[in-house]
Chains A and B, each alone.
Chain A
Amino acid sequence: MTNPLILVTFFPLLGVLALLFVRSDRKTLMRWISLLVSLVTFGLSIWMLTLFDKANPELQLGFNLPWIQVANWNISFIMGVDGLSILLVLLTTFLTPISILSTWTAVEERVKEFMIFFLLLEVGMLGVFLAQDLFLFYIFWEFTLVPMYFLIGIWGGPRRIYAAIKFFLYTMAGSILMLLAILWLGINQGTFSVPDLIKNGGIPGNIQLWLFLAFAAAFAIKVPMWPLHSWLPDAHVEAPTAGSVILAGVLLKMGTYGFLRFNLPLFPDAVKQAAPWMALLAVIGILYGAAVSYAQKDIKKLVAYSSVSHLGFVMLGLFALNAQGVEGAILQMINHGLSTGALFLLVGMVYEQTHTREFSVYGGLWKIMPVYGTVMLIVALSSMGLPGLNGFIGEFAILLGAFGSKAIGSPWFAGLAAAGVILAAVYILYMFQKMFLGPEGSIVEDVKKHGHALRDLNLREIVTVLPLLVFIFWIGLYPKPFFDLIAPAVEKLLIAFH
């Protein structure tokens, strides 16, 4: 059991086990255990990275154990990592300790359960990115619902129960259709192993389209693509900060990753047919998300809708079906995880002090919280795609890919999407201006009335966001190492579409 993938995926379970034996009033100990375990998991994933051969487009470090092999069941415990998933694995292990750090003072109630669910969620997410057997994948995929449901439902805001159930039912609705498609594949192709299924191919064209749609139902809801996005704002607004960070940072990527890992290679004919339509939905999502973001009065809701817009870019890049588009899309998944994760963290930090997310009461925070303001500015600029920061690289590659895409068939999609970049600047700068510039908002006085003034970020909070800033600059200034990891696997994936 020294396989790095097994270790990375299941190491957080050790933390769960340890937490079970901690007395429930020793909250700090629990936080340290969880932080430490998630940091070790991150370390293990770095170890995995060092073993990873980036020139090799195939699945690596994999292993294949027979699991359920009776009565023509052909289910194996297959895991593997390649350029499509390695960055997402790293993103997951990277964001988890950061999220845990952000809960240090924000979560005081039922800390033990919180941390247990959080670590279980990490196991589920890592499993989703590493599983290469459809049955195994489905188990991890559905499993992530359970801890997230509890995180929203127990530690969330006032409408948490509604949001949690909506999140659960929406996501399950898509995945049960995928379940039927998985069953069909397993029966008719005789295996659930994804590499084998891709190798065998030979799914008739008309059935490909149905299977594509069934898988797409699960993934499009998760992304979420317009018009299936309505669970997202509710879930984001009600979720606790750490939940929002993981939800935006990783869970949404499970949807885009699903398209990349399953839909594209398994149903190439259907993908070609569907590409213009997917691009259309993606562009609508970009523009719609941006427009609705601008209309929000709640900061978290604004960020939530901006996710709809940003994930639209990712989808556009994926269905461009050329190297720039797909590579850009993968990088943009990471970028969105970093930028939007950071935005949610920052919103959470000020919310902890003010207990409100209404724009109208904010204003002039820059003077009072200069460090916070600077960090927020960088993150906001990265989110709107300013050159030199990470968002630009991803969006530029996607637009480049979409312009020249034969699969989409028209440069107009890219043209409209480019307008989305401008709209992003509008709503993000609007938010920044409302919160940080202008005269002091009423919240400053309100907080003073309760006996303490607004304070700037403390050391723990700076430590929480600093790693994110490092990557925001790194990817923005020197993205080559990241593209190097992605490119070979994408090349291989796209052979079917040349």
Chain B
Amino acid sequence: MTQSDLFTILPILVLIVWACVLLLVDLFIPKGSKKWTALLAAVGLAGALGLNLAQAGQQLSAFGGMVVLDGFSSFMTSLFLASGLLAVALAYGYLKRMGLERGEYYVILMFSLSGMMLMAQATDLFVVFLALELLSIPLYVLAAFARSRSDSEEAGLKYFLLGAFATGFVVYGISLVFGATGHTSLAGIVSVIQTPETFSGTFNPLLLTIGAALILVGFSFKVAAVPFHMWTPDVYQGAPTPVTGFMAVGAKAAGFAALLRIFVAALPSLSADLVPVLWGLAALTMLVGNLVAISQTNIKRLLAYSSIAHAGYILMAFVNFGNPKVGPDAVASALFYLLTYAITSFGAWAVVIGLEKQDGKGLEISDFAGLGRKRPLMAAAMTIFMLSLTGMPPTLGLVGKFYLFRTVVEGGYIWLAVIGVLTSLISAYYYLRVVVTMYMHTGEPETKREFWLDLTWELAALATVVLSFVPAALFAWASGAVLTIF
């Protein structure tokens, strides 16, 4: 282990050490003043984010090529840490109000984040597996964090069982890939594919394809792609809302980080076999996510299906993964879309938390009636989020969709793009229903005014609108994060 090795994973290191220390410090923080834990966690996350930004532009490989630091990992790590900060902001008042205030929330969150960050840096399938477990297990705990509530317990258990199932797929896939190529490192896999004679055993392309497909299935669970999405609505509904917001953004982004890295960097040769599958997966996910969302009456379930649908949109970027001309652009568009989704979705979850009451009350869409009069700004922000999720101007959502669809059209998958835009039209219907309820129905919603919560949706709404006019810097950042192909 050299200095350079440690430097490569410095933000993760800092975060884990900080989390361990915080676990101890939390013992000495009296029960009523857990805000100090939150503050310390936020400081740790901000510090890691600062380190990560300071490392930007570096290209390093460490631990014998098992992890790397590159534009891609630096982009994803920033996204993870920012969503971690937002998850702290959302939880700050919420946990207290719901009687869940325990310092462990913040610590577990940080452990899960370190898994995500490792995922973005992993270039070896073993490390991918390690990162997957490191990010998932704390999330199972977080989902069940409101343990006195049965639906939260159900969410935790369901997420755990299906998560373990999905991990099984990933591990089995990894073992098949290893069997086919004799390597777990992405670079090694590529070298065997390109020059099979260097492999001491017999290179088995079929085994490799099956292994890759199993890895795809495993991560499809994580990103909630149809037909592996069944757990999503229940888990999203049952988990404490800040955790839901974190899962919708962080866990999904981590899943996509792994998929992008593995498929774009190591397996572009399989694209002929896998593209039809990915095409179908994307189309199905967009269709089912959007169609089923129409009939939801609970806002958390609605946003859960919306997150499924958005996984479908991001999956569209994958059909180009083996195309050397469009591929880099496709990756950049997926990253950009993840970013826009993260901002918008956290904003929407913040508004939902602002209306949530004890025992899961206040979460029906009808509970939003009259918000336009009672809290004009909050309703305006929610409208912006809904428009952004639909892909209407002047919001980031439109820019993200524009970017994403552009790569799909450029790759020649015009019918997938048609499905994409038509399902966006469907989605307008249910997103607008939230807007209709806020402005055109009368009601007396009870809302909370909490500084950090309000700041979250205020900033998210502002960013969603303002960044849509000046997206060039974000574009440049995302396209700078293109993966190096081995």
| Contact (Cβ within 8 A) A169 B414 | no
Which listed residue (B405, B410, B440) contacts A179, Cβ 8 A?
B405
Interface string of B393-414 (1 = CB under 8 A from A): 1100010001001100110001
Stretch touching chain A among B21-29, B56-64, B470-478: B470-478
| Contact (Cβ within 8 A) A135 B402 | yes
Stretch touching chain A among B222-230, B363-371, B424-432: B424-432
| Contact (Cβ within 8 A) A71 B479 | yes
| Contact (Cβ within 8 A) A70 B417 | no
Contacts of B277 in A (CB 8 A): none
User: Does A473 interact with chain B (Cβ within 8 Å)?
Assistant: no
A-B contact count (CB 8 A): 85
Contacts of A150 in B (CB 8 A): 439
User: Does A422 interact with chain B (Cβ within 8 Å)?
Assistant: no
User: Does A73 interact with chain B (Cβ within 8 Å)?
Assistant: yes
In the assembled complex, the Cα of A160 lies from the Cα of B436 at a distance in Å of 10
Stretch touching chain B among A48-56, A181-189, A348-356, A451-459: A181-189
User: Does B356 interact with chain A (Cβ within 8 Å)?
Assistant: no
| Contact (Cβ within 8 A) A146 B387 | yes
| Contact (Cβ within 8 A) B410 A68 | no
Contacts of B454 in A (CB 8 A): none
Which listed residue (B387, B392, B410, B429) contacts A165, Cβ 8 A?
B429
Contacts of A179 in B (CB 8 A): 402, 405, 421
Which listed residue (B398, B405, B436, B479) contacts A70, Cβ 8 A?
B479
User: Does A412 interact with chain B (Cβ within 8 Å)?
Assistant: no
Residue in B393, B432, B476 with the greatest tally of chain A CB atoms within 10 Å: B393
**Shortest distance in angstroms between B110's beta carbon and chain A's nearest beta carbon?**
34
Interface string of A281-302 (1 = CB under 8 A from B): 0000000000000000000000
Which listed residue (A73, A145, A164, A184) contacts B392, Cβ 8 A?
A145
User: Does B329 interact with chain A (Cβ within 8 Å)?
Assistant: yes
Which listed residue (A142, A161, A169, A172) contacts B440, Cβ 8 A?
A161
Which listed residue (A110, A143, A180) contacts B417, Cβ 8 A?
A180
| Contact (Cβ within 8 A) A176 B410 | no
| Contact (Cβ within 8 A) A68 B472 | yes
Q: A142-B393, A153-B436, A168-B428 are in contact. Are A183 and B402 (CB under 8 A)?
A: yes
User: Does A22 interact with chain B (Cβ within 8 Å)?
Assistant: no
**Shortest distance in angstroms between B415's beta carbon and chain A's nearest beta carbon?**
10
User: Does A139 interact with chain B (Cβ within 8 Å)?
Assistant: yes
Contacts of B471 in A (CB 8 A): 68
The residue of chain B having its C-beta at the shortest distance from the C-beta of A138 within the complex is B393
In the assembled complex, the Cα of A135 lies from the Cα of B471 at a distance in Å of 13
Which listed residue (A113, A168, A183) contacts B406, Cβ 8 A?
A183
Contacts of B6 in A (CB 8 A): none
Contacts of B406 in A (CB 8 A): 183, 186-187
The residue of chain B having its C-beta at the shortest distance from the C-beta of A186 within the complex is B406
User: Does B418 interact with chain A (Cβ within 8 Å)?
Assistant: yes
Interface bin, chain B: 20 to 34
In the assembled complex, the Cα of A68 lies from the Cα of B373 at a distance in Å of 37
| Contact (Cβ within 8 A) A187 B425 | no
Which listed residue (B376, B436, B475) contacts A68, Cβ 8 A?
B475
| Contact (Cβ within 8 A) B393 A139 | yes
Contacts of A187 in B (CB 8 A): 406, 409-410
Contacts of B421 in A (CB 8 A): 176-177, 179-180
**Shortest distance in angstroms between B153's beta carbon and chain A's nearest beta carbon?**
38
Residue in B424, B425, B479 with the greatest tally of chain A CB atoms within 10 Å: B425
User: Does A154 interact with chain B (Cβ within 8 Å)?
Assistant: yes
**Shortest distance in angstroms between A364's beta carbon and chain B's nearest beta carbon?**
38
User: Does B422 interact with chain A (Cβ within 8 Å)?
Assistant: yes
In the assembled complex, the Cα of A161 lies from the Cα of B425 at a distance in Å of 17
User: Does A173 interact with chain B (Cβ within 8 Å)?
Assistant: yes
| Contact (Cβ within 8 A) B393 A154 | no
User: Does A69 interact with chain B (Cβ within 8 Å)?
Assistant: yes
Which listed residue (B387, B394, B418, B429) contacts A169, Cβ 8 A?
B429
Contacts of A164 in B (CB 8 A): 436, 440
In the assembled complex, the Cα of A176 lies from the Cα of B419 at a distance in Å of 11
Contacts of A183 in B (CB 8 A): 402, 405-406, 409-410, 417
In the assembled complex, the Cα of A73 lies from the Cα of B422 at a distance in Å of 24
| Contact (Cβ within 8 A) B392 A142 | yes
| Contact (Cβ within 8 A) B398 A139 | yes
User: Does B91 interact with chain A (Cβ within 8 Å)?
Assistant: no
Tell me the chain A residues, 180-211 only, with Cβ under 8 Å from chain B: 180, 183-184, 186-187
Tell me the chain B residues, 461-486 only, with Cβ under 8 Å from chain A: 471-472, 475-476, 479
| Contact (Cβ within 8 A) B475 A169 | no
User: Does A478 interact with chain B (Cβ within 8 Å)?
Assistant: no
Tell me the chain A residues, 100-127 only, with Cβ under 8 Å from chain B: 110, 113
**Shortest distance in angstroms between B167's beta carbon and chain A's nearest beta carbon?**
36
Interface string of A135-177 (1 = CB under 8 A from B): 1001110110110011001100000110011001100110011
In the assembled complex, the Cα of A179 lies from the Cα of B425 at a distance in Å of 12
Interface string of A219-244 (1 = CB under 8 A from B): 00000000000000000000000000
Residue in A67, A110, A165 with the greatest tally of chain B CB atoms within 10 Å: A165
In the assembled complex, the Cα of A145 lies from the Cα of B431 at a distance in Å of 14
The residue of chain B having its C-beta at the shortest distance from the C-beta of A145 within the complex is B392
| Contact (Cβ within 8 A) B414 A180 | yes
Contacts of A160 in B (CB 8 A): 440
| Contact (Cβ within 8 A) A176 B424 | yes
Contacts of A184 in B (CB 8 A): 409, 414
Q: A70-B476, A161-B440 are in contact. Are A143 and B405 (CB under 8 A)?
A: no
In the assembled complex, the Cα of A140 lies from the Cα of B392 at a distance in Å of 10
Residue in B409, B414, B418, B479 with the greatest tally of chain A CB atoms within 10 Å: B409
Contacts of B475 in A (CB 8 A): 68, 70-71, 73
User: Does B122 interact with chain A (Cβ within 8 Å)?
Assistant: no
| Contact (Cβ within 8 A) B405 A172 | no
| Contact (Cβ within 8 A) B472 A172 | no
User: Does B332 interact with chain A (Cβ within 8 Å)?
Assistant: yes
In the assembled complex, the Cα of A72 lies from the Cα of B403 at a distance in Å of 11
Residue in B418, B432, B471 with the greatest tally of chain A CB atoms within 10 Å: B432
| Contact (Cβ within 8 A) B472 A70 | yes
Please list 12 pairs of residues, one from A and one from B, whose beta carbons are closer than 8 Å in the complex, sorted by A's number: A138-B393, A142-B392, A143-B394, A145-B392, A153-B439, A154-B440, A165-B432, A172-B428, A180-B417, A183-B409, A183-B410, A184-B414
Q: Which residues of A contact B (CB under 8 A)?
A: 67-73, 110, 113, 135, 138-140, 142-143, 145-146, 149-150, 153-154, 160-161, 164-165, 168-169, 172-173, 176-177, 179-180, 183-184, 186-187
* Ranked 7 nearest A-B pairs via Cβ: A176-B421, A71-B479, A139-B393, A70-B476, A143-B393, A183-B409, A70-B475
A sample of 10 more A-B contacts (CB under 8 A), given A183-B410, A186-B406, A187-B409, is: A68-B472, A70-B479, A71-B332, A139-B398, A140-B393, A161-B436, A161-B440, A179-B402, A180-B414, A187-B406
